[in-house]
A and B are shown apart, each in its own frame.
Chain A
Amino acid sequence: MSTTEHATTGQPTTEHPPHPSVKRYWQIALFLGVVTAIEVAIAYIPDLDRTVLTVGLVGLGIIKFGSVVGWFMHLRFENKTMNRLFAIGLVLALGLFFIVLATFSGILSS
């Protein structure tokens, strides 16, 4: 068997994939600043439904998280190995602690 998930073995890819420009970095930073401002604003809306608040804040948090990882950490330009190493850690952290907290919440007891 020679098929492999790492088909790049032995064939070095471009060592320096094209990186975003300085201008793009400033744009992303501006975007992140605006998103943060929206987050804080949402938190101060009086009598906002708790579910809407949670979904909104988590959604915006994910957007910020993804922007920093994808662009500033340029993970979107890296190879599969690096993407998987980080993705596994992230998915395990989310999944495992969701289950742990669920067992405490009582939703699994009945």
Chain B
Amino acid sequence: MATETAVHGPTGTDGADIRKTAMWGFLGSECLFFGSFIATFLLYSDETNGGPGTEVFDIPFTSVSSFVLLMSSLTMVLAHNAYERDDNRQLRIWLVATALLGTVFLGGQVFEFTTFYAEGLRMDVSPFGSAFFVLTGFHGAHVAVGVLMLTSMIILSRRGQLYRHRGMNVELVGLYWHFVDIVWIVIFTVVYLLQV
């Protein structure tokens, strides 16, 4: 029996933050979640059941909102950088920017959904509609959860309760946020650009 103790805490015996290992496992799992929805969409991309198809897509509009989400990844990584440097002013500025960009993206999605409904593309009209709305809807729900987490980060940071080694921290929220962004990179290519 040796007396050397195990290195536990947020750092596991493999030298890495255990929460990050968990988060990457979760994100690996999420790949199959979105993969299933994207596969469903690809199968049904022509099953319009007499309703509208991909011609209702507004590529310029979606390109702008994709760009907005892409740039939110930049602001997120700058927030994380400020967090690493313990620069709380910068941290909050970039967190607020990220949350705002996310909200703009969500607003764009609401506008897009409303327009599509007006044009007759609904989720109860065709398998294509079902697959489109449920896929992008679940992505939007992920963005919304991300915005909530960012907001809590901002509030906790203001109150001086943003502990580095406890619970979710800026880095973990960042990983989640970037993941939501890369899912959108795939959706933008596969669901929008390749279908028109």
Residue positions of A touching B, CB distance < 8 A? 6, 8-16, 19, 22, 25-26, 28-29, 32-33, 36, 39-40, 42-44, 53-54, 57-58, 60-61, 64-65, 68-69, 71-73, 75, 78-79, 81-82, 85-90, 92-94, 96-97, 100-101, 104
Residue contact B30 to A89, C-beta cutoff 8 Å: yes
A-facing mask of B60-82, CB < 8 A → 1, else 0? Answer: 10010011001101101110010
Interface residues of B, CB < 8 Å — how many? 52
How far, in Å, is A71 (CB) from chain B's closest CB?
A: 8
Given contact pairs A28-B74, A101-B43, enumerate 14 new A-B contacts (beta carbons under 8 Å): A10-B13, A12-B13, A12-B15, A13-B16, A19-B81, A32-B70, A33-B67, A36-B66, A43-B59, A60-B189, A72-B74, A79-B15, A89-B27, A101-B39
A-side binding surface: helix, strand, loop or mixed?
A: helix
Q: Is B196 an interface residue (CB 8 A)?
A: yes
Residue contact A25 to B15, C-beta cutoff 8 Å: no
> A58 vs B178: C-alpha distance in the bound complex, in angstroms?
19
A54 contacts across to B, CB distance below 8 A:
194
> A51 vs B176: C-alpha distance in the bound complex, in angstroms?
33
Residue contact B24 to A85, C-beta cutoff 8 Å: yes
Residue contact B38 to A82, C-beta cutoff 8 Å: no
Q: Which of B32, B60, B63, B196 contacts A92 (CB 8 A)?
A: B32
For chain B residues 1-46, which have a beta carbon within 8 Å of chain A?
7, 11, 13-17, 20-21, 24-25, 27-32, 34-36, 38-39, 42-43
A39 contacts across to B, CB distance below 8 A:
188-189, 193
Using CB atoms, name the residue of chain B closest to A90. B31
Residue contact B63 to A93, C-beta cutoff 8 Å: no
Tell which of B7, B77, B81 has the most Cβ of chain A within 10 Å. Answer: B77
Q: Is B186 an interface residue (CB 8 A)?
A: yes
How far, in Å, is A56 (CB) from chain B's closest CB?
A: 10
Using CB atoms, name the residue of chain A closest to B17. A15
Residue contact B81 to A82, C-beta cutoff 8 Å: no
Q: A33-B71, A72-B178 are in contact. Are A40 and B25 (CB under 8 A)?
A: no
> A103 vs B60: C-alpha distance in the bound complex, in angstroms?
34
> A36 vs B59: C-alpha distance in the bound complex, in angstroms?
12
